[in-house]
Chain A
């Protein structure tokens, strides 16, 4: 089905399945590719290639695995006039994403108080299944959150304008229209702002273990031994409901517009259609909710650090960057020598713009966009930067994490809770978690080796490495 084009580039040729408009292209090692083939993710790459208006390739990053509609790690760009928008290319957790914060503290300073810090973080950041936040919104106020995103949070005192500058899209997609979000979705979001959630969402206290690019790291304010905090969460029940509501709309739209679906999960509407534009506006609301959520949690994290380490850390915990990895964006890209506006879908994939891209904040203008790649629980995470290769090969995109290899059920079946806690403890990692099952689901064995995934995107020229972080403590829902 596939052929190798380069050491880490594989192609599924046009014609592998009837109806493909473009070839599939996967950035992977051979072992990653074979895993993807075994769990049907390659079939999903092919299915995406059949969607109307897709340009150049149906892409998959090296963290590829079986998803809903698109594979996780899937990227596709569509012509705005002839192409479609599909919830299956974005996912249920709209704008699930990652934020990296840096502190002025070192591992030696934090280690003696790590247990206390985790207790405070666990208390201050609501987490777990069904958790409710400390913020109770009226529907009117929620509408503002949906349209303003992280800016709403900063206006309420949760952070600073400087934070906003360091978020993808400044934490606000301006095409959001709260009237396109259902009452039910809003009901799910009313009490969930400022909550971590459960599943693979986490908050991790880390230390900078290795710096690969001293110059860039220094410019970002990162140094070896420094303590960082990584936050992974999304749009919670509100985003899930937006996706559910619009999948139903898209199924009808697919029929209405004669879009041939090889998989119902790719239900889509022409981007410029009424259905497409309504979803586009609602999806942006959910994305904004997620950015506001991560902004509020950032404030809770800062307060937790002040409680444990005193006023010395006040105003000294900075955002490095915040990336979305389940989203569609309107972006300008070169297609056959011409600049065109495209609808880029990233499902379990991260934007990765190079230096001098107009969408980058001035602080990263000469460096490139920071890309944050979390590993599995207990393993390393990476800070990368986007390179011009990502614009040339992947619509300015890269991987989003390690990627699962084992089902959740299998991970729970094989897992041993005390052994897992012991093994993390041996690595000096403390854990606070609401649920045993969640922790077992997220055991390191359930994921690919993040080093192998990152190595592929670096070798292919999508990114270069800035630093590697190792976990010291994990808070999980």
Chain B
């Protein structure tokens, strides 16, 4: 598992790890699926997601809230394939998001928030 749940008094915290943006986003999907769904449906839908933002944080905010929107329609998030991911003055994300419709939820997630949101990097230097 490339994610772990963190304690938060009112809400749900998640820490994800990955070696690429796609892996990080996939870990988010895996965490959300475990927390929210007790049964995953067998019929899949592919959503083409295209998002713009001023910052990388804004892209994540929009992408994860996109996932929450589909979850609210009882679609369990299964897989994300990142097609384009540009950062700069203007940020852009294009991805294929695969969900399983008619899934059964056990707990609701209202929204992705920016509360304590951040990136960290781990590295080893040869010394």
Tell me the A residues contacting B by CB distance below 8 Å.
Answer: 39, 41, 65-69, 72, 92-93, 129-130, 184, 188, 197-199, 237, 240-241, 243-244, 247-248, 251-252, 255, 264-265, 267, 404-410, 435-438, 441
Contacts and interface: CB of A to CB of B under 8 A. Distances in A.
Contact of B62 (A241, A248, A441): A248
B69 A247 contact: no
Contacts of A435: 106-107
A408 B7 CA distance: 8
A404 B10 contact: yes
A68 B113 contact: yes
Contacts of A67: 10
Interface string B94-120: 000000000011111011111101000
Could you say which of A188, A197, A264 has the most chain B C-beta atoms within 10 Å of its C-beta?
A264
B105 A92 contact: no
Contacts of B112: 244
A410 B10 CA distance: 11
Contacts of B68: 244
Contacts, number: 90
Interface string B1-17: 00001111111100000
Contacts of B65: 244
B15 to A, nearest CB: 12
B85 interface: no
A66 B10 contact: yes
Interface residues of B, number: 32
Contacts of A197: 108
Contact of A405 (B9, B72, B106, B114): B9
B105 A129 contact: yes
A407 B7 contact: yes
23 contacts: A65-B9, A66-B9, A67-B10, A68-B10, A68-B113, A69-B115, A72-B10, A92-B110, A92-B111, A130-B73, A237-B72, A240-B110, A244-B65, A244-B68, A255-B54, A264-B57, A267-B114, A404-B9, A404-B10, A407-B7, A408-B12, A409-B7, A441-B107
Contacts of A41: 9
Contact of A129 (B5, B69, B108): B108
A73 B94 CA distance: 39
A72 to B, nearest CB: 6
Given A248-B58, A437-B106, 13 more contacts: A65-B9, A66-B8, A68-B11, A129-B107, A129-B108, A130-B72, A244-B111, A244-B112, A247-B114, A264-B117, A407-B9, A435-B107, A438-B107
Interface in B5-48: 5-12, 36
A332 to B, nearest CB: 31
Could you say which of B54, B72, B105 has the most chain A C-beta atoms within 10 Å of its C-beta?
B72
A406 B7 CA distance: 9
A405 B9 CA distance: 6
Contacts of A408: 8, 10-12
Interface string B73-109: 1100000000000000000000000000000111110
Contact of A240 (B10, B12, B111): B111
A237 B105 CA distance: 15
B13 to A, nearest CB: 8
Contact of A243 (B5, B9, B106, B111): B111
A92 B72 CA distance: 14
A130 B74 contact: yes
A198 B74 CA distance: 14
Nearest to B7: A407
A184 B9 contact: no
List the 5 closest pairs (A to B, CB-CB), nearest first: A129-B105, A407-B7, A240-B110, A66-B9, A264-B114
A184 B54 CA distance: 21
Contacts of A65: 9-10
Given A241-B69, A248-B61, A265-B113, A199 B7 contact: no
Contacts of A92: 110-111, 113
Contacts of A441: 107
A316 B114 CA distance: 47
Could you say which of B7, B8, B54, B112 has the most chain A C-beta atoms within 10 Å of its C-beta?
B8
B36 to A, nearest CB: 8
Nearest to A44: B115
Nearest to A266: B114
B69 A184 contact: yes
A361 to B, nearest CB: 32
